[in-house]
Chain A
Amino acid sequence: MLGLGGGVFLVPLLNVALGLPLRTAAAISLCTVIATSSTVSAGQAGAQLINIRLGMVLEVATVAGSLLGGLTAHLFSESALQRLFGVVAILTAAAVLSRINRRNVIFDPMAQPGGLGGQFFDEESERVVTYRVTRLPAALLASFAAGNLSSLLGIGGGILKVPALNTWCGVPVRAAAATSAFMIGVTAAGGAIIYYGRGDLPALLAAPAVLGVQLGSWAGLRLAGGVPAKWLKVLLIVVLVLVAALMFFRSAR
């Protein structure tokens, strides 16, 4: 409901509450990320919010990052991964906190989107809006980092990509979230396959997680509509700070 895969919450839950190793928690979470990505993209396809071309370009970087992360995950200690998770959660909270309501769209209907830009129907202003993509190297770099963290920590990586695309590259936030959701399935698949091959993915635990997340995202879409966006963001920040504190606490023991 916020353009995030939900792995930020699921991994600590599996790791801390159920006592699973972080690697197993990450592997299970990656499966739920794939399911969320496929479900959300299937539901949004046709609305032209997903920038397929931009997504394909960035996937080159993000899958490379996830491949590297999947291959190196076993080199890190449990507590190092937990600390990394805590840092990412804090940074996410800061990014959500600082997100101001700026718009990247051009209202002129004759404007050219360029090779990678796009156009979509904006519900807020009730007209077709255009945007251009700037600073592609920054987007590629953010995507590589997102893919890397995705594999290591079991998160989707939308946390890094959505703010980067929005603040640096001129992509409107709704298009950035839709494009990120479209990409994270491929990113997570790259990492999940490697965990699966290493035997870090127990099917009996992954199955209920995947099914539960799909029910949850469906319910979340229903609920989120009635709640002001600001409250959602405040709730998200509070939970993220708690998660970070929990992870630092665990890694210190």
Chain B
Amino acid sequence: MTAPPSSTDDRGFESALGRLLGIGVLASSACLALGLALTLLRPDEGAQRALLTSGLVLLMATPIARVAVSAFTYARRRDWLFAALTGIVLLELFASVAAALR
């Protein structure tokens, strides 16, 4: 196993990932709320459809972005074991996307 991580490093990393997740879920909720409000006010318009769709896509993309940032961070720190593990998770998620687009 690799040496235990220095705790200050990981704390900064944890906060950065937390911010990323917070921003992602906030942006997605804003899109969903706006899309829903528009639907209630004026149905049958293209704009809310696009807002709702982008809200859901943002929601699903947020955890994927978190994994991608982790993989990048581990690679930059030359922590190859964890770079490889997060890389595998990322590949599995891309396999989901590929299966969805098929």
Contacts and interface: CB of A to CB of B under 8 A. Distances in A.
Interface in B31-59: 32-33, 35-36, 39, 49, 52-53, 55-56, 59
A186 B100 contact: no
B52 A207 contact: yes
B14 A45 contact: yes
Given A57-B85, A196-B100, A210-B59, A41 B17 contact: yes
A9 B19 CA distance: 28
Nearest to B95: A67
Given A34-B62, A38-B24, A211 B36 contact: yes
Interface residues of B, number: 53
Given A52-B14, A198-B100, A204-B39, A63 B66 contact: no
A60 B85 contact: yes
A56 B101 contact: no
B66 A186 contact: yes
A60 B17 contact: no
B1 A189 contact: no
Given A56-B70, A56-B89, A207-B55, A189 B60 contact: yes
B93 A63 contact: yes
Interface stretch (A12-20, A100-108, A113-121): A113-121
A246 B29 CA distance: 32
Specify the main secondary structure of chain B where it touches its partner: helix
Interface in B80-96: 82, 85-86, 88-89, 92-93, 95-96
B89 A63 contact: yes
A114 B1 contact: yes
A197 B56 CA distance: 12
14 contacts: A34-B63, A39-B25, A42-B19, A46-B15, A50-B14, A52-B70, A56-B86, A63-B92, A186-B93, A189-B61, A189-B63, A193-B100, A203-B56, A206-B56
Given A48-B7, A48-B10, A214-B25, 14 more contacts: A34-B60, A34-B63, A35-B28, A35-B59, A38-B25, A38-B63, A41-B18, A43-B22, A63-B89, A189-B60, A189-B93, A193-B97, A211-B29, A211-B32
